[in-house]
Amino acid sequence: MSRFFRFAKRGLLIDIHNPVSDIALPKPDKSSDKVISAGELRQLLNKLSPTMALIVELAYETAMRRSEILKLTTQCLHLDERIADVIDGKNGTRSVPLTMRATELLKEAQRLALANKAHRGRLFIVTPHAVSQAVRLARNKAGLDCSVRLHQLRHTRITNVAKKGFNNAQIMIVSGHRDTRSVARYSHLNAKDVLHLID
């Protein structure tokens, strides 16, 4: 809004007061460097319904965004090749490499979707808000810290991949990022994490 008024005044030479110039904007949230432990993940999964547990564990195993998981259809899956296609994700369409566990989870999701005609090819028929709400409730029931959030599972997977010694190009294939700065923001490494790589 403020940009529009500045443009009108400077670019169009309209003598107009900027009514939003004195409004203080909140500082952006600091990104969390929380890496969710295997124990925290287990506690969270134990408090979720079977469908929500599938979605949450997929987020952990694939580093896919919530919206990307919820858009998956049976046609997106190439489980023999251990690949899933993300259609119209945040950074466009891409293929996601799947861990063995992610492949098992997607086979189960596919089986449930094919058994339920209401799914119409989609793996999950829940809303993004319902997933976030389920994670919040499960976190509270499990007594976990508020830093255990659905999106932190993405950070955790990307960090775990980086710990294995993947280079930025390989990490970007897993994460779907197009920029190495984003990879740096998502992978939370420390000196101990690279010790096994330097000898």
pLDDT in tens, 127-143: 999 999 999 999 999 99
Is the CATH number of domain 34-198 1.10.443.10?
Answer: yes
- Considering the chain, what percentage of its residues have pLDDT values greater than 90? 38
pLDDT computed for residue 139 by the predictor: 94
Least confident range from 15-19, 146-150, 186-190: namely 186-190
Q: Which residue has the tokens 């891409």?
A: 94
- Say if residue 182's pLDDT is above 90: no
Q: Report the distance separating Cα 4 and Cα 105, nearest Å.
A: 48
Amino acid letter, residue 165: G
- Say if residue 50's pLDDT is above 90: yes
Token pair of 22 as six digits:
């004195």
pLDDT computed for residue 180 by the predictor: 65
Q: Report the distance separating Cα 78 and Cα 76, nearest Å.
A: 7
- Read off the pTM: 0.73
Over residues 51-76, mean pLDDT: 92
Highest mean pLDDT among 23-37, 74-88, 110-124, 165-179: 74-88
- Report the run of H or E that residue 78 belongs to, with start and end: strand 77-78
* Residue boundaries of the structural domains of the chain: 34-198
- Say if residue 168's pLDDT is above 90: no
